[in-house]
Amino acid sequence: MTPEDSAAPGRIVLLTTTHRVAPGILSWPAWQTLHSADRVLCADTAHPQLPYLREAGIEVEHTAADAQDLVDDCAGGRTLVVIPSGAGGDEGDRRLTDSLARLAGSGRVQMPDLELLPGSYDLPGARLLDLVQVMDRIRRECPWSSQQTHKGLAKYGIEEAYELVEAIEDGDRTELREELGDVLLQVVFHARIAQEATGEEGDEPFSIDDVAGTIVEKLIHRHPHVFGDETAETPEDVKAHWLRTKAIEKQRDSVTEGVPLGQPALALAAKLTSRVRTASLDVPLPTGTGVGYQLLALAAEAEAAGTDPEAALRAAARAYRDAIVAAEGVRK
């Protein structure tokens, strides 16, 4: 070893991986670094990557890394790779990085190069896998969750949807993020129940992957201007194609099919009149006395003008609520 070699600082590489990517699938820089390293250390003897590293001919030492020992061992330009614990790291990994940071900041020792190298990393949507795994465990082990059915959970889906709408109307992004999660939970919960498909839940099981696969196929099929050869220049073009495709898919006998009667009454009225208008049907509104027929006419008028009567009434009601709160404050 030449004097220049002995003075080389060396390199400590912290090789991170994610449990959301199948073990053994590492980036090319990660494999290059592992094969060229002088030592590879991993204190976690059950790390999921270990069998694949051994298969690739990489010797891994099951040693808890000490910051000072690593720095000393890097003398002469050696490269050391440290693989953190499997499930995102543990307290020992944090102690190591903190100790290395303190050594680097002390100025007392010649530090090797410190490198954080992602061996694998989460793709967009990877945390959805965590949600599925958590839901699996809750369904198995929670006394309440394990007894739930589609019918029993139905009311929560409605409640969470209303809370999501409120967060949107309030413009509260923190609440919006939380409520989107609550709505997502309902989807994953129902899909988990559907995997069992026993008793009242039906005979044909399906999973969250089936749910996702169905909506992916639908979106691709109904967006040929994105995934196919057709063109759509305006939002109106997109909507027209969507309606044509949906009509072919569903083969419905009536434009009223697929309109849920359980939705709020103003929304129901607007949806029915919208279906009639889109289908170019001439169906006069029913005549009658009472506020119901008046509201139906107002809903039809609003829909024809491009206004959502449900949203308009809700905005007016919220304004009235604010006025009530203000009046209560003055009175107090």
pLDDT in tens, 145-179: 999 999 999 999 999 999 999 999 999 999 999 99
CA separation for the pair 197, 66 (Å, rounded):
52
Please tell me the predicted confidence (pLDDT) of residue 250: 75
- Say yes or no to pLDDT of 124 above 80: yes
CA separation for the pair 313, 302 (Å, rounded):
11
- The answer to pTM > 0.75 is no
- Say yes or no to pLDDT of 143 above 90: yes
- Say yes or no to pLDDT of 238 above 90: no
Mean pLDDT across the stretch 82-106? 77
Highest mean pLDDT among 75-89, 234-248, 269-283: 269-283
CA separation for the pair 265, 271 (Å, rounded):
10
Please tell me the predicted confidence (pLDDT) of residue 6: 52
Q: Which H or E element spans position 166?
A: helix 150-170
- Say yes or no to pLDDT of 88 above 70: no
Q: At what angle do helices 265-278 and 291-304 cross, to 10 degrees?
A: 50
Please tell me the predicted confidence (pLDDT) of residue 36: 96
Residue 1: both structure tokens together = 């070893």
Mean pLDDT across the stretch 212-219? 95
Please tell me the predicted confidence (pLDDT) of residue 28: 96
User: Tell me: the pLDDT tens digits for 21-63?
Assistant: 889 999 999 999 999 999 999 988 999 999 999 999 999 999 8
Mean pLDDT across the stretch 84-106? 76
Highest mean pLDDT among 181-195, 217-231, 252-266, 273-287: 181-195
Mean pLDDT across the chain = 88
Asked whether the beta carbons of 23 and 119 are under 8 A apart, the reply is: no
- Say yes or no to pLDDT of 255 above 80: yes
Cα-to-chain-centroid distance, residue 172: 19
Cross-sheet strand order for the sheet of 39-41: 39-41, 79-82, 11-16, 113-118
Please tell me the predicted confidence (pLDDT) of residue 257: 85
Strands 113-118 and 79-82: unpaired
CA dist 55 → 16, 49, 61, 125, 168 (Å)? 19, 10, 15, 30, 52
Instruction: Go through 68-97 and write b for each residue having 16 or more CB atoms within 10 A of its CB, e for each that does not.
Output: eebbebbbebbbbbbbbebeeeeeebeebb
- Kindly give, in sequence order, each residue whose CB lies less than 8 Å from that of residue 242, ignoring residues fewer than 6 positions away: 222
HSE-up of residue 9 (Cα within 13 Å, Cβ side): 11
- Kindly give, in sequence order, each residue whose CB lies less than 8 Å from that of residue 93, ignoring residues fewer than 6 positions away: 84, 85
Q: Of the CATH numbers 2.160.20.10, 3.10.250.10, 3.90.1150.10, 3.40.1010.10, which one belongs to the domain with range 9-118?
A: 3.40.1010.10
Mean pLDDT across the stretch 77-104? 80
Classified as helix, coil or strand, 316 is helix
Residue 3: both structure tokens together = 């004097």
Please tell me the predicted confidence (pLDDT) of residue 332: 47
Q: Please state the domain extents for the chain.
A: 9-118, 261-332
Please tell me the predicted confidence (pLDDT) of residue 241: 79
pLDDT band for position 78 (cuts 50, 70, 90): very high
